[in-house]
Structure 1
Amino acid sequence: MHTDQPQDIAPDALPEVITRYLDAHRAHDTAGALSAFHPHANVTDEGKTHRGASAIETWLSRSAGEYTYTIELTGAQKVDTDHYIATHHLEGNFPGGVVDLHYRFALSNGLIKDLVIEP
C-alpha cells in the first residue's frame, strides 16, 4: 500500500540498514556505510547523482572530509515498506552553517537502492 502521507515513526524504528548507514556515515566509516547500499544504488546530494558502488564510495570519502559539522537525527517517517525519510539537523563550517536535511531512502532487497539528500 503506497500512501502519499508519510507516517511519523520513532528514529529507532527505521530499518536496520538505514540505521547502519547513518551510524557508519556519522563515524566516517566509509566501508560500513557502503555496505548498506545495493551495488547499483544511486545517491543524489547537492543536486549531483552518484551511481554505483565506486561513485558512492568516492562521495562518502569526500563528504566525510570536506566540512566539519555535527549531525543530529531529529525525525523519521515511513512512506511505505520500502521508502523512509530521516531528517537531520546539521551545524558546521559549510556554507550557511545550519541546515535541516531530509534523507529520502528507497530500499530494495534489504539494501539502500536510492538515497536523495535535500533540504
Structure 2
Amino acid sequence: MPAPVQAFFDADRTAEGAFPADAFAPDATVRDEGKAHAGRDAIAAWWQAAKAAYGHSSKPCEIAEEGGTTIVLGRVTGRFPGSPAMLSFAFRLHDGRIAALEIGA
C-alpha cells in the first residue's frame, strides 16, 4: 500500500484518529457523501466533522491499482445506519501525497 494511503488508514483506524495532514497535498480534494472538500483546511474540517458525527473507524480489506488510482475496499464501522459497511476509497496520488480521494459504496 502506498505510504500516504497507509497513513490515511492508520489515522482512520480509531474513532479519535487525528487528521493525517502530511498525507494530503495542499490542494487535494475529497468527495464523500455527495460533497466535495478542497484544500487541507476543508479536508481537515470534513475529517473532524465526520469523526464527531459517526465515531467511525475503517480497516482496509482489499487493494487494487487501476489506471493510476489506488482503490481500497474498507470495512467502516461507526454510528450510522448499516454499520458496518464496505466502502470504496479511490486515491489518486501525486508527488507522494494524496491529490484526490473519492469515497463511495
TM-score by length of 1: 0.79
Unmatched runs of 5 consecutive residues or more in structure 1: 1-13
Distance (Å, rounded) in 2 between the aligned partners of 1:70 and 1:111: 21
1:96 aligns with 2:85: no
User: Deviations for 1:33-62, whole angstroms, at most 9, x for unmatched residues?
Assistant: 121000000000111000111100101111
User: Deviations for 1:56-88, whole angstroms, at most 9, x for unmatched residues?
Assistant: 0101111111113442211111124x4201111
Aligned length: 103
Aligned identity (percent) is 30
The answer for the alignment partner of 1:29 in structure 2 is 18
Kindly tell me: are residues 69 and 40 of structure 1, through their superposed partners in 2, closer, same or farther at Cα, counting changes over 3 Å?
closer
After superposition, where does 1:54-73 map in structure 2 within 5 Å?
54-73=41-60
The answer for the alignment partner of 1:112 in structure 2 is 98
Distance (Å, rounded) in 1 between the aligned partners of 2:23 and 2:57: 22
Q: CA deviation at 1:29?
A: 1.4
Q: Which amino acid aligns with 1:86?
A: V
SS of 1:35 mapped into structure 2: helix
* Structure number, greater radius of gyration: 1
Unmatched runs of 5 consecutive residues or more in structure 2: none
Give structure 1 regions of 4+ aligned residues with deviation exceeding 4 angstroms: none
Q: CA deviation at 1:95?
A: 2.0
Q: CA RMSD in A?
A: 1.4
The answer for the alignment partner of 1:50 in structure 2 is 37
